[in-house]
Amino acid sequence: MMSSSASAQTCTSLDTVLEKLDLHSRDLLVGVLQSGRCLKHARLTCRALRDTVDGSLGKINVLVKAADAERVAAGVKFPLWRWTRLTRIAISPDYGEPGFTEMALPFIGQPAECLLRITDVKFVSHDLSTTVEATAALASLLYRMSSVRSVHLRVPLSSEPLQQLVLSDALGSLTQLEELDLGRGFPAALVGRLADRLKRVTLYPSETVTVGDLCCAVSMMHLLESAELAELQADRASPLVDLLKRPPPKLQTLRVVMLEEVRWLMHLTSGRVTSVRQEVEYPEFQDILDFAAEVLLPLLDVSLLDSLELDGLFLPLLKDYDRRLQPLRALVKRCRRVRLGTLTLANGVQVSHGLDTVRLLGMPDHIDFFCDYVGCRVDLRRNSSPGAASSLHEGPAASGTSSSGGGGGLPAARGVNLALELMLQRLDQQQQLPADSRRGSVVQLVRLRSPLFTRLACAPDALRAWMLQLASHAAEEQVAAAAAAGADAAAQAGASASAPMKACCPVPTAGAVVVECASAEGAAAVAAAARKALAAVGFCHGHDDDAVRVHVVAASSPDELLVEACQALWDSGQGGSEEERLQLLLEVGCGLAVKWPWMGLQEADELAAAAAAAAAAAPWAQ
């Protein structure tokens, strides 16, 4: 009998199950229903369920394939007529399909009342770079949908004036149209013909349609409440200033989506921009400055902005920090309130620059560091003073002044050492995971503590040599343990196939080293080898848990431990005022960016293989 899990993998739907039943099985199924006198009820229930689904469905997404043309030509219609409450439909060509004329296939042969029910229609292409387009086909279809209120045409449109005119006329025939999302290249002047009805619009510039053309079209739409201008370039966005100074009377929101992956949302009240929000968490620093200089500062030349919100700011390494920051400083002076979501520091950023940025924009919700391939996020809203992380700067004088003068950063070693000590402390306080809870991602660690490591910390090459020698001895221990357990030759060969040690992290101020191991067996071998090595120089006696301790930690990598330590450093509330604690945290991030403390031991594989081969002949443990 097939298990339930296997059955679930093989039969993914009820249709699949029923299709696999042969005639005899179907007769048996009907017989069971009939014997229980529930055949009639089963038929009525299934029919009622189908009618309920068909009668309640109000929105569908249709993926059209080129092969559907043959089925429609053979008289097989799409079942749109069956869904009596269908009002919203989205049509997309399948990935890799060559054309867009097929997007009209679902509507062929449908009764008029079916098309008249549709109020929201979307045509969306996965490939906007293709030269294939279906402007005429879409126009002829729109002529038949007089009840449509929302049209999204995110498909390639023709650049031929005649076809554009036909599509414009088709859109003009939609007397109830309120929302329009047009693809690239459609003349803004033709959109202006719909100014008497549109309340929401999304427009794109192109080689023939400038940002100025779009702004002119938007300004004519006297009923417009919400507009989005997409794929703009910051150095060509200046026409937005005139639009925002003299917006349509009912415009409430304008979203500007830049090619540089920056999104600005502006709220207007009584024809005045009252708040601006940058909606991307990791925008490029220069993109923020460019938009501020090109649009926001000219817009606010004689007025103040009630609220400026930056969901994120990426602070790069800057040589001329003060000069580069001038547009942002000037913008903050024109804002009554400022809020920063995530401050992301690039590798090499000076601590003083990070502090000055926070003094300018206020305490962020999060600080992110990216060190090599490791990301570290610290939530500053936790254990902070009331309203500190989420509060908004009050008054136009909140911009502050730079204390760094673009000078050198503060020393980062103090913060890194504190984070490492905290990581070590958390390890020592952590309870061992029960064996039955180790099914997920776990990290096998061995913590070594000895005055020896305080000395070796001053000589990184000597420390690395000592750790590689330990890796060699640990490999011998691993093979010896496999042999002592009665493992066969194949198992012993497997034990020597990889090094038991993967990486290590020295904690100089605590006289300790944390070793990442490849497995539980590897951790045991490293612990045994470390005890012998430390005992040989008089730093360990027997099973000294303070000198050598094995930890099994629930994590996907040891890097997570250091990330958690950074958060704990902030959560502890220790280290002085909030600004002093922030400075300490920035020291951690900048220090980790300069040198991530986990050292890879790639050479350990070769050393372990050689040592394991020797141990197989004459085990070191004997």
What local confidence, expressed as pLDDT, does residue 119 receive?
96
CA distance linking residue 558 with residue 64, whole number of Å? 48
pLDDT digits (tens, 9 = 90+) for 34-85: 777 777 777 777 877 777 777 788 898 988 887 888 888 888 888 888 888 8
Do the beta carbons of residue 180 and residue 201 sit within 8 Å?
A: yes
SS3 for 91?
strand
What local confidence, expressed as pLDDT, does residue 409 receive?
39
CA distance linking residue 287 with residue 256, whole number of Å? 13
SS3 for 282?
coil
Of the chain, the end-to-end C-alpha distance in Å amounts to 53
**What radius of gyration do the chain's Cα atoms show?**
34
Q: Which residue did the predictor score with more confidence, 411 or 30?
A: 30
Mean pLDDT of 198-204: 94
Q: Which residue did the predictor score with more confidence, 110 or 429?
A: 110
Examine the pLDDT at 13 and tell me if it is beyond 80.
no
Ramachandran region, residue 75 (left: φ > 0; alpha: ψ -120 to 50; beta: rest)? left
Mean pLDDT of 508-516: 88
Mean pLDDT of 570-582: 81
Mean pLDDT of 585-600: 77
pLDDT digits (tens, 9 = 90+) for 73-127: 888 888 888 888 899 999 988 766 545 667 888 888 888 999 999 999 999 887 6
Q: Residue 336: exposed, middle, or buried by beta-carbon count in 10 A (0-12, 13-18, 19+)?
A: middle
Beta bridge partners of 258: 232
> 14-28, 201-215, 464-478: lowest mean pLDDT where?
14-28
Band (pLDDT 50/70/90 cuts) for residue 380 is very high
* Mean pLDDT, all residues of the chain: 80
> 199-208, 350-359, 493-502: lowest mean pLDDT where?
493-502
Do the beta carbons of residue 182 and residue 202 sit within 8 Å?
A: yes
Note the pTM of the prediction, 2 decimals: 0.76
Examine the pLDDT at 560 and tell me if it is beyond 60.
yes
Mean pLDDT of 126-149: 79
Examine the pLDDT at 403 and tell me if it is beyond 70.
no
Mean pLDDT of 311-337: 93
Mean pLDDT of 456-462: 83
Instruction: Report the percentage of the chain scoring pLDDT > 90.
Output: 29
What local confidence, expressed as pLDDT, does residue 398 receive?
40
The helix (H) or strand (E) run that includes residue 515 is strand 512-517
Band (pLDDT 50/70/90 cuts) for residue 243 is very high
Strand order in the sheet with 512-517: 548-554, 442-449, 512-517, 501-507, 599-600
Band (pLDDT 50/70/90 cuts) for residue 211 is very high
Mean pLDDT of 297-321: 92
What local confidence, expressed as pLDDT, does residue 184 receive?
77
Examine the pLDDT at 210 and tell me if it is beyond 50.
yes
What local confidence, expressed as pLDDT, does residue 201 receive?
95
Band (pLDDT 50/70/90 cuts) for residue 159 is confident
Q: Residue 470: exposed, middle, or buried by beta-carbon count in 10 A (0-12, 13-18, 19+)?
A: buried
- What is the distance, to the nearest Å, from the Cα of residue 29 to the centroid of all Cα atoms in its chain? 49
Token readout for 250 is 């009912």
CA distance linking residue 50 with residue 54, whole number of Å? 6
Mean pLDDT of 157-164: 85
Mean pLDDT of 510-517: 89
What local confidence, expressed as pLDDT, does residue 551 receive?
85
What local confidence, expressed as pLDDT, does residue 491 receive?
52
